[in-house]
């Protein structure tokens, strides 16, 4: 499974990218607005830090304007994935942009039918929101399982499942078991995937024994 960072904080992205464990970045209008920077400048810098896809979202709602903004964002760098909402107008924009050779991430997916329509429109990625469904007492993991089952039924559907609104290590484990292609995580969540009290306890014991034994590692 691929790991994306869900952020527009360039410093945080750069730090995580340095460990070689991330495959891309997702941003949204809220992140960009909080940065206080022009979107093209911000996305260009993120794209220079990360080789994989960097999602940059349009702000328009009509097909024509989404296509216009998508072309602008897509021209910033070759690894930009134009992000459009999962609306009827958004799907039409997705089809146009995909035909023109741009990667497209169709976002705000909350049903399997929506995901199927995004795939039919040629989306590179579809982004179902796990945590936001959980907030409504609807199991977001069920949605991932439904989308995976549908996509696996049809070889012609090449759209990747990009799980968004992922908030806990358990979410990551469960969507990986289901077979999601990608998970996008806030920078602060990613390190928690390697944390375990027994790892810390075991390491402390090993180091204590090493110190008692007077060992060294030298050339």
**Residue 123 is part of a domain; what is its CATH number?**
3.20.20.70
Catalytic residue chosen out of the listed positions 2, 40, 83, 120: 83
Task: Give the pair of three-digit tokens for residue 123.
Answer: 């989306």
- In order of 119, 120, 159, the CA distances from 154 in angstroms are 11, 11, 11
Query: Which pLDDT does position 142 carry in this prediction?
Result: 96
Phi first, then psi, for residue 21 (nearest 5°) are: -100, 0
Rounded CA separation 117/171 (Å): 25
Query: Which pLDDT does position 18 carry in this prediction?
Result: 87
Please tell me the pTM assigned to this model. Answer: 0.93
In a domain, 218, yes or no: no
Contact 182, 160 (CB under 8 A): yes
Using DSSP, state whether 1 is helix, strand or coil.
coil
What is the block-wise mean pLDDT of the chain (219 residues), using blocks of 10 residues?
Answer: 96 92 95 95 97 97 98 98 98 98 98 98 97 91 97 97 93 96 93 93 94 87
Query: Which pLDDT does position 102 carry in this prediction?
Result: 98
Query: Which pLDDT does position 53 carry in this prediction?
Result: 98
Dihedral angle, C-alpha 173, 179, 181, 187, nearest 10 ° = -10
In a domain, 219, yes or no: no
| Element spanning 115, H or E | helix 112-120
In a domain, 192, yes or no: yes
Write out the E strands in the chain.
2-6, 24-26, 54-57, 80-85, 103-109, 125-128, 160-163, 182-185
Domain tally for the chain?
Answer: 1
Domain that holds residue 94: 2-213
Active site residue 201: no
In a domain, 40, yes or no: yes
Rounded CA separation 180/140 (Å): 13
In a domain, 6, yes or no: yes
Rounded CA separation 180/201 (Å): 32
Query: Which pLDDT does position 32 carry in this prediction?
Result: 95
The answer for residues whose C-beta is within 8 angstroms of residue 219's C-beta and 6 or more apart is none
Query: Which pLDDT does position 215 carry in this prediction?
Result: 86
């Amino acid at each position: 499974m691929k790991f994306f960072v869900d952020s527009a904080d360039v410093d945080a992205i750069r730090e995580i990218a340095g460990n070689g464990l991330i495959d891309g970045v997702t941003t949204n209008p809220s992140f960009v607005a909080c940065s206080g920077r022009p979107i093209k400048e911000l996305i260009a810098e993120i794209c220079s830090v990360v080789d994989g896809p960097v999602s940059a979202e349009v702000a328009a709602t009509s097909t024509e304007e989404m296509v216009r903004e998508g072309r602008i964002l897509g021209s910033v760098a070759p690894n930009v994935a134009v992000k459009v909402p999962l609306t009827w107008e958004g799907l039409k924009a997705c089809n146009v942009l995909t035909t023109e050779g741009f990667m497209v991430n169709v976002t705000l997916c909350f049903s399997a039918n929506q995901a199927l329509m995004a795939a039919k429109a040629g989306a590179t990625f579809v982004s179902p929101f796990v945590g936001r469904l959980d907030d409504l007492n609807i199991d977001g993991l069920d949605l991932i399982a439904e989308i995976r089952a549908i996509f696996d039924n049809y070889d012609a559907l090449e759209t990747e499942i990009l799980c968004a609104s992922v908030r806990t290590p358990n979410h990551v484990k469960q969507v990986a078991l289901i077979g999601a292609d990608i998970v996008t995580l806030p920078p602060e969540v990613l390190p928690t995937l390697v944390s375990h009290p027994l790892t810390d306890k075991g390491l402390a014991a090993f180091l204590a024994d090493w110190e008692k034994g007077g060992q060294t590692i030298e050339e």
